[in-house]
Structure 1
Amino acid sequence: MWSCLLLRFLPVILLLSSAGPEDVRLVKGGSRCAGTVEVNREGQWGTVVNFYWDINDAEVVCRELDCGSAISAPRRAHFGEGSGQELLTEVACNGTESTLSMCQSENTNQIRALGFIPAPHIYDAGVICSGRQMIRLMGGADRCSGRVEVKFNQSWATLCDVDFDWQDAQVVCRELDCGGPSAFHRGSHFGQGEGPTWSKHLRCEGHESFLHECLTSDRPEQISTHGVQLTCKEPDDVRLVDGSSSCSGRVQVFRWGQWGTVYHRNWDMNDAAVVCRQLDCGSAVSVPSGDRFGEGSGKMVLGDVSCSGTESALRECGSLDGREHNLPHTFDAGVICSDFVRLVGGADRCSGRVEVKFNNSWATVCDADFDWQDAQVVCKELDCGGPSALHRGSHFGRGKGSIWSKNFQCEGHESFLHECLTSDRPEQSCTHGVQLTCKGPDDLRLVNGSSPCSGTVEVYRWGQWGTVAQYNWDLNDAAVVCRQLGCGSPVVTPIRAHFGEGSGRVLLRDVSCNGSESALRDCGAVDCRHVDVPHKFDAGVICSDFVQLEGGVDRCSGRVEVKFNQSWATVCDADFDWQDAQVVCRELDCGNPSALLKVSHFGQAF
């Protein structure tokens, strides 16, 4: 790639139109109004580099080809890499020009003469035009869903749903570069049109590239009921694999004729939101890093994806070509989506009051008849493993919205709660909302300690259990471990194999939690499987949710306090005996008691 800095000092070449309509064409897009942009310069056809390529440039190409308006300006060889030389770059149209040759641009032959090498074909610019008829989908969540409207007499007219069939829908979706149709909706799903209703019936055969190529017939005005309400499924170029459902897993994209993975650097909730939207999976729940869903196959094809979060598809976001970097699949990006259910009010995303989405707002699920099978499906959909507890009363608080009017009748094997059968619920039968804790995926444990809440940290990664090296291990990391295991707060973070040297490999080092994560898998870490770190540096954790010693010279001496109603209370010395002391010392990993001291030795409680 040539130096962008040096390009700023090159003279801008203004190319004047001289060869007429054969100056530009679109190839590899399936029709003459969509594809990779090719231009003819001095008898040679070649491509356009997508630097600064935008919708204004695309608008001029569509106008020059008599293809209606520009729908989008895909970059990075969206339709496949072109052939020949790259002839133009840094095209700068204002959108009103009649031909592309009237726009300012850099001629890459001039760049070659200065010794710079133009960008490869992976940066070829593309265009998608609406076609002469001009068609759009209105009122949907993105450009590939909505009420079908066509341009007629310079205004937009709603298309009537009478006799509009699957073949007609195939042509609409194809013209808009939205793949194939996925659903016709009844009634006014995307709203009523405000303009006139188009006076024709379409009679497409399904193979046409543009709606205006279909035959039409007159339509009696009085038979129209609603406008056509259509959702297209978009091109099949993103999927989630190896998750617990089709809405969770490792991200795979189809680029350059192959399926591959995405590098997790800079991967965030904005990027995940676009994936969930494109797959019709609702909202992003989390963005697991590394190989949370196992190592992928094929090449890692994209890196540094940068979505704003509003795009309708991942292909519309910026990204870098990652094919040449040979990055290991330990850095594959993942996504967990959920459209229908959430847990709120808990300590993390895997515990809380169960709420479902209804009429675009969240409603509390009633605890009447909500059982273990229902809980299994909720935990599975949220990628939180299985249920560990159904709490009584308002353990996670009362919901402020409405109460959902149905009872779930899940069998437990369903992947999504909306797949379960439901029945009507008598309104008076509800006492509380469902209060649920899921145990999370089984990928963390503490071993060789005195209880399940203390010991050497072991994680499950890459198909094996192993330990964590102590480098940069601190209370923030320990807080996440204790939270994930339902063990309360960290007491101390022992290092240097305090609980004895672990087994297997040391899998992680330099864990970097901020302390608020719901699981250790959500924290940054360095893969150290291929470095022989000795087990004498194994990290440990001691958690306690109920008891502490306060006011002593160290953590193993002091006034005994227990947690009650989210605050600490002093334990009275009346009837507190040696057996009680043995349990306290064991829980705090402090060995055996050595002394029970008399009144206020470690100070009075306040």
Structure 2
Amino acid sequence: MRAVEAPQILFLLIASMQMLHALSQFIKLQINEIPSPALQARNSRHVGSGQVVRLRGMNRKFGEGRIEVNFGGVWGLICPDKFSINEAQVICRQLGFERGSTDYSIVSYYNAMESAHYSLNGLACEGSERNIFHCRRSSNGKCSMPSHAVFVRCRLNYPSRCSPGGILFKEKCFHFIRDLEYSFDIAEDHCLKIGGSLAVITSQDENDFLSDVLSTLNENIRRPKPWYIGGRRQEGSWKWQTNEIVASSTFSKWDPKGTKIHRNQDCVAMWNQRKFGNDYFFWDAMNCRKRLPFVCQVPAYHIDCIVGDGKTYAGNANVTENGLPCLPWTNYKLKNIPLSSKQLGNHNFCRNPNGASKPWCMVDEKVRQNCDIPVCNKGQVVFDVQDHEECDKDETICTGTKMYHSLQTIPLCGKKCLQSRNFICNSFSYDISEKICLLSTEQARTGGANLTNVDSSDYYERIRPKDQEEKRDAFKVRLVGGGPPWEGKIEVSVGGKWAAICDDGWNISAARVLCRQLGYPNALRSWIGMSNDRNYLMDDVKCTGKERYLNECLFNGWGKHDCGPNEAAGVQCAVIERECFPKKFKCNSSHCIDFKWICDGEDDCGDGSDEDLVKCKLPVEVRLVNGSSIDRGRLEVKFYGIWGTVCNRDFTVHDAAVVCRMLGKQGVPIIEPYQKYGSGTGPIWLQNPGCSGDEEELTRCRIRRWGYSKCSHDEDVALYCKESVFSTVAPKEILSSTECGRTFVSFRARDPRHGYLARVVGGFEVRHGAYPWTAAIKLDNTRHLCGASIITPFHLISAAHCFEDVPDLSLYSVVVGDWDTNAHDGTEQKFGIEYVSFVPGYENILKDDIAIIKLKSKNDSGILFNKYVQPICLPNADAAYPAGMKCVISGWGSMGTQNPRRLQAAEVPIMNPDTCRDPLVYGNLLSERAFCAGYLQGHVDSCKGDSGGPFACLSDGKYYLFGVISWGDGCAQEYRPGVYTRVRDYLTWIKQTINS
């Protein structure tokens, strides 16, 4: 580890400098990126939840409870004095219930305190405010009703806009799945199948709303479980897992006092750990394989609106005000129906066929419930849908209607019919008393727009009606630019002109309509941001998902858009065809599904052919193919009776050891360059099997999920189950003890100011063997701690502070010849430590931070030198350290967020000592036997885990150890260069220690 904790005096000297630069530090997030926990902590003004109003109480339903307000960091009650429905309306809207409150009551409040704490007294609202802090209020004064609180009941957002079980917040329906506990990937697939994704949270209001739902669901649970939402760490960054582009947001709600996030905790969950007095669901990182409940989000349905009692409603609402699904009307014989009889056919949409107070539907054979549908605003389109019941045998088309409210005259209604853009109008009816204009694609003989039994209505139809088939033939769709024919960019044609659809508002509901129109059973994915010029025919397409053709959905009109290039919509449709393999699994029903859905516990095929228990439990087999012998080749795995491959990405030597063991090979495996034995076909069964190396077979490893990978067959694992453990160079290649500082692999570390900076803190990944004197010190045989430099077969130089915290040398090990810490390179040599020598009088990191390590012998020998392992030279006693001379630092230290997998190196210049001792840099903290190197503007530096590693300078074709990486304030920070121990000043001590 590189020490970053400087003494208190360091803080005092640099505090003002940090304040000056704090305001200039801005972070630009990538598309769908979530601010990391570290970034949130840096930007956070407080450690609380940020929530200011909440509802609490025992045995309550969601949307009701005792009102509590956070004022000055303390939760308290609202004084009931003069409280009215106006205040209740404002509080409910602030909580996310757009329709306000239904009622409130004053209740007794008993707790352990003698009297209740009141955060707000004298609250007085007009009722239209969006926030109680816009009302008149007082935080002082005495409440005349002590030990009483206000209990409020909020009106739920329209349940009919969600499928059963969904809870509406703004334009999202959230589904809380707690009966099924899944891993992150299976939870993600479940949400996809219901038309959405795992929850994406981009605001404080949204997180507060979900936290309150979860608090209600977990009210009587002593230890609530975490709930997955849609965040995941990918290549070091946290991102929302959704096909949509999330609006730019810097919001995050990581647990402000959360524990350290470990390397295998890559998925985000909401969790109320009941820490430090907070009853709130913060975010935390979880192992993605853990089975947890989860939160899905689905776009809210557009169910249109009602006029009056809703007798003319023909929208698509099919969920009651209590959230129950409606049953089809088919078996119900109702008399005196004032609408077309076909509007009560084989569908389950809410209707008002008998003049009730509002639309309703049947939820059981003898039970009906009202539907909660918005009331239309003046001039609003009431509905614009198709009733998608199955046509009778003697029918060729079904009724389509469109209604306008508050049109003043019959001519205006007729004009709407003649000028309708994406709706073929053949008839209309106008209700003079209600000012309702009803358009229809049909005429009277086929069930046109006649408001039957409405005395005040007039009916009109075209003399020469437009033919429905003409409508269908005129509008065409196709997919282009994809691999298989069932996916790609969408193009539509009207009158022979082909153009794209803009992705504004494009979602899975529209994708389903498009796929059905193309003859596919469903849609799997909706894509946005596909390549295209500015040629678009449709924009802002809004579908319910139940339309038969895409042009029956709402959109801006042909050719009307505000889209730029590369904003085209695309789709991946579900497939029913003869040939699914090798890219898909073919169900017995001929459906094609992803291999990752096999044996996931759900019948994705619909016929059970992807969940055959016998096949799911078949023994897993492995083989090596296309190699010159049976112990080498491309790795293939047989699962569910199907041979597939394994992705090289994140495949470790531990995974390889298990495979070789399954093949009866007990040697040390070597992972060879992928594509060495060609690319395979069929499924890529595994990515990152997660083996420890001790398992007898792959099924005992921590496999994330069979069939899940983000790889191509160009990345198939190539493996060699080699018997020999370590290969030394031939005797004639072993260097004499007088030679040092030589490299046998050509590589030059680059100056970060010239060319692209691949790794801002850690430098550049080097070739294997480029700096062969660089060694790694590990703790407990696994955790990388520090670096070191080889100087003899038994001695290395490192930093003294590396050994301060753990005095037991038996816990340390030294590895030389390493390059890739996650794989067996075949060149590693590992040693225990016999002793560590410090400079006499060493006290702390600021002075004499250098140590000599003596290795324990191994097979009566020390380090074996070869092209990958070499000693570095010590400098002469009169060696100069001129400012500007560039030297190389190397190691496996942090790159700012995590330790790298492979050895990194960078070239940095020695700084002028006067610059380093400037009060704005390190002042008097820099000792006489230390020096600085790097750049005042930062960008490149050694970091945590590099401590003890080499500062190597090239002279006359050899590298010399001029410095030992010691300390610094942060990593690659402005005005904070790295500090190094000057080896020249310790030569006498080094030689004496080695010789003794």
How does the TM-score come out when normalised to structure 2?
0.23
Quick check: which one's strand share is greater?
A: 1
Greater gyration radius: 2
How does the TM-score come out when normalised to structure 1?
0.35
